[in-house]
Each structure stands twice: as structure tokens, then as C-alpha cells.
Amino acid sequence: MARGDKTRFVCQACGTVHPKWQGRCEGCGEWNTLAEEAPAPARGPGPAAKAGGGRRVEFVGLKGESAPPPRIPTGIAELDRVLGGGLVAASAVLVGGDPGIGKSTILLQAAARVASSGRRVLYVSGEEAVEQVRLRAARLGLTESPMALAAATALRDIVASLEGESDAALVVIDSIQTVWLDALESAPGTVAQVRACAAELIRLAKARGFAIVLVGHVTKEGTLAGPRVLEHMVDATLYFEGDRGHQFRILRAVKNRFGATDEIGVFEMTGTGLVEVANPSALFLAERRGNVSGSAVFAGIEGTRPVLVEVQALLSPSSGGSPRRQVVGWDSGRLSMLLAVLEARCGMSLGQNDVYLNIAGGLRINEPAADLAVAAALVSAATDRPTDAGAVYFGEVGLSGEVRQVSQPEPRLREAAKLGFSAATLPRRVARGGKAPAPPQGLVLHETGHLADLVAVFAEKTVKPRRAGP
């Protein structure tokens, strides 16, 4: 056997190729993810390349006018927000999420609404039979939609069927890990199969002009299963986040060639499917109790939308040698940094306590502006003094304890005022044009430049016990 015909071992998590099998992938560090695959046939340069020929490419300048791409509204406002206004014709969208999180439900609802608007919609299910999809559609009240449904996993059959459709506007493939190509010897869901099947389906979508949505599974770490190169092949990548035991679902855009990234859509899972949440701030704060220590409200920005969420902190004496740090919805490394700043710069003793931090509502916060709200929750829990029930917090904390400016403070303040909050603790604002912008009516601003100022506020609330006797 020639050297180029030898089999290779490909990591099913990141796509790194290894000449021989080994327990740990050198590319991503995952264990037991290498699978044996036959190499693709080598292709040499074509006749045009050998002869030095080829069609000349035309170069144009940067200045020019082009119309925005036409959009296909899905009929779900939160989904359209994440997509940047709707689906773009001849585009490819990848939707990932944990099993049972609601990927098939939201796409079935969107496909039914697009079909009800008079467009041709094709839904190809590789995981469920036609009757199972019909049962879900009946539960969601979508049986009257003119959407076309099929159950298939063979790529050749799917491509042959799509090529026969001349007026299709939207095609949904659920899921790409179940589609297989018989020309490859590897099993469905492997790197080679997912890459080849996705490339062929995307090529067909570009040629035929219909929008295609691919459903992808995620690993236990929350990343898309299979090759990460799949994210580079599509035009938009959306992640469905949330806990299956929680009613909230967050649809987040991490890549979008036709719209803004880091945009989110908020949904609530009900017995009749996923329902849009027009005001997520009110929903996240619906069960908040303002008289409990260790709680603070963070005024955040998700994409173009201001969102208020509750940050909860709990401190308890450590029973073992190493204190625990449990974080849900935030960066655990940033929590460790913030605890170190509180100890080194503010004189607080927190090192011997177990620290538990939670972002209520199932939302994951990624922006550093949450530092001040987390610090307020930690100091409140340490002093057993609740924060002001009508106050919000936002600001980035540096290693020296300084509170730094964050982007878009005005939308955060307007959202807080709209929901009835009366105060906001934020970094010192920089005057623009010689004068700082006025805060919204009814909102009192407490500007702070150092984390010690925040700690001093809680120290003033602490009432020292009286000494008995003279």
C-alpha cells in the first residue's frame, strides 16, 4: 500500500489529523476522540492550472453601492432579532444546543410560519420519523401549515429531492450529524461525514437560492460536536442555551455575516411550544426578593438589547482545607480575581469561605461590566447587609481596585428607569462636550472610582452592637 493510501486518525471534537492512534488529541486535549478514517483521494492540479490558464478575476474598489440582501421573516420576532432581520436567501445557518433544549421545536414553529406566509418550506428529519414530527406539530398547533415534511438520512436522496424543487425558500436539516454519504467509509456524525455532507448541502443552497438551516448537536462542554470547521462554512451560527429544568431559553448569535453578533433572543418553554419574551428584564427579576443579602441587580447589554438580571452570592465557612468556588452563569476565573481584589485592596477576609455565585434566570453573562454587581453581591453576603432593592450596578473592576468605564451606559440606565429602579451605582462618567449626559428622570446616580467606596457603603449600614455595662 502506498504511503498516501494509509488510513489516518481524526479527532471527532476538533478535526485534527494524527498519523496513528493515541489516547489524547494533541489539538484540543480531549481523550478517546480519535477515529480511524480513510483519506480522501488526492487531487492534483487541473488542466487549467497545469497550463497556466484560467479566467481572469475582476478587481473593484471599496467604494460602491449594494442593496441589502432580501430577508425572509420567520414570524418570530426574537428569532428575527438574532438573525439580523430574518433569513437571507441562499444562506446557511447552523443552530446548536443541548439535547432537548428546544432546537427542533423553535425551527418547526419558524418553518410552519414561513410556510403559512406562502413560501415553499421543506423539513427533513434524520432523527425522528414522520409520525413523530406530526405529533409534535399537533401539540404545537401547527398541523394546518402547508410545510412539506420528509424523513431521510442518505445525502444522495436528500440532494436529489432538493434538486427537483425549483421554488423552495427554506430547507431545514435536523440534524446534520445524522446525514451520511455512502462514498465515505466513516460512520455518520464523524468529522469526514459532517464536513462532506454540510459542504454539499451548502453548495446546493447557494446554487438554488434557498436558505438552509442545519441543526447540530453539542458536546458536554457546550461546543458544537464534530469539526469546528463547520462554523466557518456557514453564514450564521446560533446557540440555544438554558437548562432543561428551567423554563427560560436563550438563543445567542456567535457569528452572523448578515447581522450583529452577540445578539440574544429570549424564549419561555410552555406546553404549547416556545413563547417569545418581549421584556426579558422583567421576567428575570420577577421572583427577586430585595431584602435578602447577597443579591444585586446587574444592568447588562446583550448585543443591542439592555437586560437586567439578578446576581446571587452565598458565602459559608469552609469545612475542608480548600474553599470551594461554584459559579453558574459567569466566568469562574473572573470570580477568583474579584475575590483577590476585595482581599488585597479592600481589606476583606473572604479566603476561608466557600463562595457560590449564580446568575438567576439561566442567562450566561460574558461582559466584564458585571464585576461591580458581583462585587456588590459578595460584599452584601459577607456583611449580611442587603443591597438597595431599587438599585442597579454595572462597571468593570481592575486589579488595583479601580472601577473602569464600560460601553453603552445610557441604554442600561434607561432600562433600569423603565423598570422602576431609583438608583444606579456605576463608574465615574466622562463628560462629553464639557457636560455629562443627564440621567433618566427619577434615577439617582452614585458614581464610584474605587471598589473600596462600595465596601464603605456596606460598612456604614452595619450597626455595631452596644457594649453592655459602663
CA separation for the pair 330, 339 (Å, rounded): 14
Residue 164 among known ligand-binding residues: no
Q: In the beta sheet, which residues pair with residue 168?
A: 120
Determine contact, residues 171/124, Cβ cutoff 8 Å. Answer: yes
Q: How far apart are CA 315 and CA 155, in angstroms?
A: 54
Q: Which residues pair with 296 in a beta bridge?
A: 311
Helices (H), 117-175: 130-140, 155-163
Residue 98 assigned ligand-binding role? yes
CA distance 387 to 392: 9
Question: Residues 197, 180: contact at Cβ < 8 Å?
Answer: yes
Amino acid, res. 88: V
Helix (H, G, I), strand (E, B) or coil at 274: strand
**Residue (of 446, 372, 375, 374) closest to 406 by Cα position:** 372
Q: Can you name the residues that pair with 357 across neighbouring β-strands?
A: 313, 327
Report how far apart, in Å, the C-alpha atoms of 68 and of each of 84, 89, 208 are. 12, 12, 19
170 to 92, 121, 166: CA distances (angstroms): 10, 5, 12
Q: Which residues have C-beta within 8 Å of that of residue 18, sequence separation ≥ 6?
A: 8, 9, 10, 11, 25, 26, 34
99 is in an annotated binding site: yes
Task: Give CA–CA dist 299/373, Å, rounded.
Answer: 8
Per the CB < 8 A criterion, the answer to whether 170 and 122 are in contact is: yes
DSSP 175: -
Is 101 flagged in the annotation as binding? yes
Distance between CA atoms of 245 and 427, rounded to whole angstroms? 37
Is 104 annotated as belonging to a binding site?
Answer: yes
End-to-end Cα spacing for the chain: 99
Q: 365 a known binding residue?
A: no
Annotated binding site: 97-104
Annotated binding site for ATP: 97-104
